[in-house]
Structure 1
Amino acid sequence: PAEASGLFGNPPMKFGRPAAPESAKHATRFEKFWHHFSSSFIDIFIWKALLDESTTVAFIIGRMLFPLYSASAGLAFGEFAIELGIFAAVSVLSWLLFAVLFANLLYNDRLPLSARYYSTVVTRWFSATKIRAVFPKPMQTGGTAWEAVCMRMMGAQVGRRFFSPLDSVHDDPAFGRLGDDVTADYDARFRQHAFEDHMLKWGPYHVGSGTSILQGGKLALSECGERVVLLRGSVTWKEQALESDTVYEGAPAQPVLADVEAGVDLYSAI
């Protein structure tokens, strides 16, 4: 494609984009070293080792409290229940410490909205993403009101009555801006970042109230009005603006109906 443009979709469609500054291609030796050391050693080995150590910590606490189980069956069952609680508590505390507190410290919405690939901003984003992959939530919150609570803990701004049957549907929770009554169906996702011309760029992009992302849909780098329906397997991309009370389908998504209720009925009949 021509300079400062790109192709996306099937069939390919050209979209314009600003060219990256020349400085984006350059990095110091230390920046390159730290980026590769962090992403190839720390992110690969250290976080997993710390996760394994959380089990060791729970085991040590249990052995300190109960070096030997009691001979009485009733007391032994109580001691086992307490140890089970210790392992559960350590698991939750490890997730809160690393996936929530430390990851939020590394990566949050106070960071620049664009950064060079070898910058510490991007390296921190890599680390935060890896930490959250290594320290998953110790409880399955998908399909419950707790999913919105967990998204808020990770930095997303989520309105009331958010629903998703799956966990962690937002790729970039720090830049998530979701209104009320937003629904994300199975395998639906929200994405707020893109790599372009040696730069990593984030949102935030807003999702209006009453919007539904149906099965396998992805709302990527796009502003979304209210009461929008993105049909099954559809994808948005590159600064699209989805208008309120409209049904979208395709990759890239295009408006197919201006009647949301009719669109939902049509989808249900397929």
Structure 2
Amino acid sequence: MTRPDWAPYGVDLDRPNAARVYDYYLGGAHNFAIDRQMAAQALAGWPELPLIMRANRSFLRRAVRFLVSSGVRQFLDLGSGIPTVGNVHEVARAEDPACRVVYVDIDPVAVAHSRAILDGDPQVTAVQADLRSPANVLDLAEKEGALDLDKPVAVLMVAVLHFVPDADDPAGVIARYRQATAPGSAIAVCHATADGQGGRADEHRALYARTPTPMTMRSRAEVDRLLTGYDLVEPGLVYMAQWRPDEDELPERPEDYPGYAAVGFRR
């Protein structure tokens, strides 16, 4: 295919990518034909996927607003993907213009586009890094994003931990971020689950096995164990649609939005 102007050289145009598929579900324009083909396959078996992705995005917005109201002014968005309307810096700075945000993604397309739209904004930056290397991520967040790690930081892991396999010790990764951040720091997590989803979850995992980031869906108990060391705020770890929903957002069947979500503060 012809390389779009916004796509950096070196990106494989013939292999689907999770960040770009997510962008497509949200109605974005920064995805390739191969990503749309994968999305079409997924939608054939799970037509509610765009609604689920938007519910995930809605949780992110609610969590950021809550964290700003709780006094947090620095955000480290891991696996941030390609920025779309309602991203972290827009939501946080609508509450307090002093907020700083560092977007982190391993995908060069996501980072290149982020840098383009954030160019000239001294309070927001994007870095290309692997979230599984907390020391490197935090070093870049300090040097390029001017985060002050002596002050509280909210670590956002929204729709990304299910791309970290058990072999890479996701609990240990989270623990290293917790240990490196100051008292008063927080975490916000939203994690895909196969609980109650049956065979279509298996089909979804099979599709993502074709990408550089296969998916590991986890049970509620497994996600809860990842959050050891954080005190979760009410309502705790729940389906994402149940986490402090806006008045018009709570669906009749929250389990139809199969992701567990929580916000907590480090001990």
Same fold, TM exceeding 0.5? no
Larger radius of gyration: 1
TM-score of Structure 1 vs Structure 2, range by shorter chain: under 0.3
Query: Please, what TM-score do these two structures have when normalized by structure 1?
Result: 0.21
